[in-house]
Structures are given as structure tokens and as C-alpha cells.
Amino acid sequence: MSEPGVVRRLNGLGKIVIPIEIRRELRIQKGDSMKIFIEDEKIVLQKYNSGCSFCESVLEATEYKGKSICVSCFEELKHT
């Protein structure tokens, strides 16, 4: 990310607030789940979507290049 970041302080419980501008741009809404992980000594927050990115099915969804995809959509993409 080449843009300058936003600085936020952790509160007493270790919480931070994600600025509304970022939440709007990434379509993060109240109640959405966030995936938190470490990558190259950085803490990464990523919107978590357990369903297929194409059809939103939660059956047999697996992650491929950062996106969830179900077996059915994967097979369909292979044949296009």
C-alpha cells in the first residue's frame, strides 16, 4: 500500500477503530467478520467471507488466491 496510513491508538482492551472511509471503500459493515493474521511481521485485517465469492454458497467453499470459491463455481471456471 503506497498511501499513507491512518494512525490509531489501542484502547485499554487492545481495540482500535477502523475509520469509516476505509470501511466504506472495502464495504465492511457492522457485524461483518474480520480475519486477523500476521504476514511478514505485519498484522493484517481482512474481511472474512466464509461463502463462495461468486454464488455465496457455503457448501464446500475453499480459499483460492485470497477468495472463497465453491467446487461448483471452480469447475465452471475451469471450463470457460
Summarised one tens digit per residue, pLDDT across range 50-64 is: 788 888 787 777 777
Summarised one tens digit per residue, pLDDT across range 7-40 is: 889 999 999 999 999 999 888 888 888 889 999 9
Q: Are 19 and 6 in contact (CB under 8 A)?
A: yes
Would you kindly state where each structural domain of the chain is located, as residue ranges?
1-48, 50-80
Higher pLDDT, 78 or 63: 78
Round to whole Å and give the CA distance between 17 and 2. 21
- Residue 4's pLDDT band (cuts 50, 70, 90): low
Question: What pLDDT does residue 6 have?
Answer: 85
pTM exceeds cut of 0.75: no
Round to whole Å and give the CA distance between 49 and 13. 26
CATH topology of domain 1-48: Pemi-like Protein 1; Chain: D (2.10.260)
